[in-house]
Amino acid sequence: MPRTPLALPQLLERLEDFYGRQEPCWPTDPYLFLVWWYCGYPASDARCSRGWESLEREIGTKPREVLAATPRDLAKALKPGGMVAELRALRLKELAARVKDQFGEDLRGALVGSIAQARKILKTFPSIADPGADRILLFAGLAPLPAVASNCPHVLVRIRRGLERENYGVTYKEAQQSIAEEVPEKFDARIRAYLLLKRHGQELCKSKNPKCEQCPVRSYCAFFAGSLRGRAPVP
Ligand code: SF4
């Protein structure tokens, strides 16, 4: 176990001292987030942002602007975001059509209400599962859920418990549980936790070969203290 246990709010302070204050680089409106998400493939902050900037410049992001563009022009605008631009162009067309026809151009308004119903609606969009739905609801200010970045649920699990499980779903739930228990159920607190843990997972606590020697919270990390939870070391 770690030499010195530290409450999660204090751990987050250490991460914030190290990385600085974090801000989302994506739009927080649910419809615009989905547009941004389909602007890059494989999805990453850098690729989605490159595709988004190009789309904004060449076509626009409003449903009517996306619907008015030809599939060819749309795909051309999405090219800076990476692979399968033609498929992503079709996805954008479908998204814009659904938001216009089913939700009167107000997807956010359709998500106000029960969390279960909002998750159900969001998961009808391609590539959106529970982590994506929770992220959208948190950042849109619709529900202060204990969302965890889908590509780094292992970060908090390593700090708190030791080596993460092989099963992604189990690791994701363990990370969510820690946030639910230790981070106040408030939008700003949970958004801050999401962003700092995501940044740490991208910079040092990578899924493979974490750079523990450079880590600002290694003294408080169960993984660094040797907790492998009954399993062999990470190869
Ligand atoms: S010590 Fe290593 S495993 Fe623990 S949080 Fe830091 S980088 Fe991740």
Q: Tokens for 208, please give them.
A: 């493979």
Query: What confidence tens digit (pLDDT) does each residue in 112-144 have?
Result: 999 999 999 999 999 999 999 999 999 999 999
The Å distance, Cα 211 to ligand 1 centre, comes to: 7
Q: Which residues pair with 82 in a beta bridge?
A: 41
Q: How far is CA 94 from the centre of its chain?
A: 22
Residue 32: predicted pLDDT? 98
Identify the residue whose C-alpha is closest to ligand 1 atom 4: 221
Query: What confidence tens digit (pLDDT) does each residue in 4-29 have?
Result: 678 999 999 999 999 999 999 999 99
The Å distance, Cα 222 to ligand 1 centre, comes to: 8
Cis before 233? omega within 30 = no
Residue 230: predicted pLDDT? 78
DSSP secondary structure code for residue 41 in this structure: B
- Those residues of the chain that have pLDDT short of 50 are none
Residue 2: predicted pLDDT? 57
Could you tell me the pTM of the whole model? 0.94
Ligand 1 binding pocket includes 221 (Cβ within 6 Å)? yes
Residue 3: predicted pLDDT? 58
Residue 234: predicted pLDDT? 57
Average pLDDT, the chain: 95
Residue 39: predicted pLDDT? 98
Ligand 1 binding pocket includes 217 (Cβ within 6 Å)? yes
- Tell me the CA distances in angstroms from 30 to 33, 90, 186, one per residue in order: 5, 19, 19
